[in-house]
Amino acid sequence: MRHKKTTEDRVLDAIISVILFIVVFVTLYPFYYILLITLNAGTDTAIGGMYLWPRQFTLGNYLYFLEDPKWISAFGISMLRTIAGTALGVLFTAIVAYGLAKRDLIFRKSYFLIVVVAMNFSGGLIAFYIVLKSLGLINTFGVYVIPGMLNLFFLLIAITFFTEIPEELGESARIDGASEVRIFTKIILPVSMPLLATMSLFIGSGQWNAWLDSAYFVQDERLRTLTYRMMQVINQTMVPSGEAQSAAMSRSSVTPFSIQATAMIVSIVPILGVYPFLQKYFVSGMMLGSVKG
């Protein structure tokens, strides 16, 4: 296909480049702008007119953030729920999927039906809330982790994945006297790394980004997550009732808005941190899902 370019080629290439540039700019600039706010004195940002680089460079926003026990504890809770939720969710879903992937399992069809119906039909948030309440999960850390332990979407994907693993693999180990648990942990899991990585990324980012459960299923202030705190601050800054807030923070150049931006950056950074490592897996993981629907 390497040949001389026609005029049409050149025009098309130019148009494509322009569009792609716009797409990249529109996607990245908001992140950059938020970063800019966090590195600029909040009182100065409020004047407006800052687009490309910080006018009054400061780390004050981050220092303020780090000094506030409320934010630190929220960050900790978010981290904890993400780690615990992801580990438990991935493991539990994988175990159930492994069982359901066995062709000789009795009632296999019925189990599938149960899963598919549950995926498409729900009792609604209120009924969900009542169940959580009767199980005593409301206002505990468990409410973050336990309901999400079995991820139905990934259950179906994992079943497809496991059925494609040749049965001989487990068979030979069984003849050598390996137990089921051993086969699962030593043979099945290692060959399923792409699946596990995809699941971890999705369940993990879901956990990290969740705010609804923290807002409505928990009342204990110590259990609030980072995303919930952010939502709180955003709701405050949205309605411009300036005086009370600026008075409270008058001791520094920090404003509620600059703190909000700082929290946003803090919540984006961990995602950016794991993103490059898992990226090569999730494209294929996404396709697994799309084939199954």
Partner 1 sequence: MFSYIPMFGIIIAFKNYKISTGIDGIFTSSWAGVTHFKELINDYNFPMLVRNTLVLSLLKIVFSYPIPILFAILLSEVRHVFLKRFVQTVSYLPHFISWVVVTGISYAFFSSGFGIFNDLLISLHLIKEPLNILTDPNSFWGLAVSTAIWKEAGWWTIIFLAALAGIDPSLYEAAEMDGASRLRRIYHITLPGLKGASIVVLILTIGSMLGGGLVGSNFEQSMLLGNALNSEKSQIIQTYAFTIGLAQGRFSFATAIDLMQSVISVFLIFTSNAIAKRVSGTGLF
Q: Which is nearer to partner 1, 34 or 187 (CB)?
A: 34
Backbone angles phi, psi at 61, to 5 degrees: -60, -40
For the bound state, the minimum distance from the C-beta of residue 227 to partner 1, rounded and expressed in Å, comes to 5
Answer yes or no whether residue 34 interacts with partner 1 by CB under 8 A: yes
**From the list 124, 177, 190, 273, which residue makes contact with partner 1 (rule: CB under 8 A)?**
124
Q: Which is nearer to partner 1, 133 or 182 (CB)?
A: 133
- Which part of the chain contacts partner 1 (CB under 8 A), choosing from 67-75, 89-97, 176-184, 227-235? 227-235
Answer yes or no whether residue 27 interacts with partner 1 by CB under 8 A: yes
Residue 105 carries which side chain, given as an amino acid letter? L
Answer yes or no whether residue 133 interacts with partner 1 by CB under 8 A: yes
Please tell me the distance from the alpha carbon of residue 158 to that of residue 191, in angstroms, as a whole number: 12
**From the list 58, 82, 86, 267, which residue makes contact with partner 1 (rule: CB under 8 A)?**
267
Tell which positions 65-104 bind partner 1, by CB under 8 A: none
**Could you tell me which residues come within 8 angstroms of residue 200 by beta carbon, excluding any fewer than 6 positions away?**
86, 90, 278
Q: Is 3 exposed, middle or buried (0-12, 13-18, 19+ CB in 10 A)?
A: exposed
* Sign, CA torsion 219/224/228/233: positive
- Which part of the chain contacts partner 1 (CB under 8 A), choosing from 40-48, 62-70, 98-106, 175-183? 40-48
What is the CB-side half-sphere exposure of residue 7 using CA atoms within 13 A?
Answer: 0
Q: Which is nearer to partner 1, 46 or 189 (CB)?
A: 46
Tell which positions 183-212 bind partner 1, by CB under 8 A: 205, 208-212
Identify the residue whose tokens are 């569009």.
Answer: 19
Q: Which is nearer to partner 1, 18 or 59 (CB)?
A: 18
Please tell me the distance from the alpha carbon of residue 104 to that of residue 38, in angstroms, as a whole number: 58
Answer yes or no whether residue 22 interacts with partner 1 by CB under 8 A: no
The DSSP result for 146-169, as a single string, is STTSS-HHHHHHHHHHHHHS-HHH
Answer yes or no whether residue 12 interacts with partner 1 by CB under 8 A: yes
Answer yes or no whether residue 273 interacts with partner 1 by CB under 8 A: no
266 to each of 72, 73, 79, 144, 270, how far by Cα in Å?
11, 13, 12, 20, 7
Answer yes or no whether residue 177 interacts with partner 1 by CB under 8 A: no
Answer yes or no whether residue 43 interacts with partner 1 by CB under 8 A: no
Residue 46 carries which side chain, given as an amino acid letter? A
**From the list 49, 69, 166, 177, which residue makes contact with partner 1 (rule: CB under 8 A)?**
49
For the bound state, the minimum distance from the C-beta of residue 31 to partner 1, rounded and expressed in Å, comes to 8
State whether residue 40 is helix, strand or coil: strand
Nearest of 226, 209, 199, 212 to residue 86 by alpha carbon: 199
**From the list 86, 162, 260, 281, which residue makes contact with partner 1 (rule: CB under 8 A)?**
260
**From the list 113, 114, 191, 193, which residue makes contact with partner 1 (rule: CB under 8 A)?**
114
For the bound state, the minimum distance from the C-beta of residue 79 to partner 1, rounded and expressed in Å, comes to 15
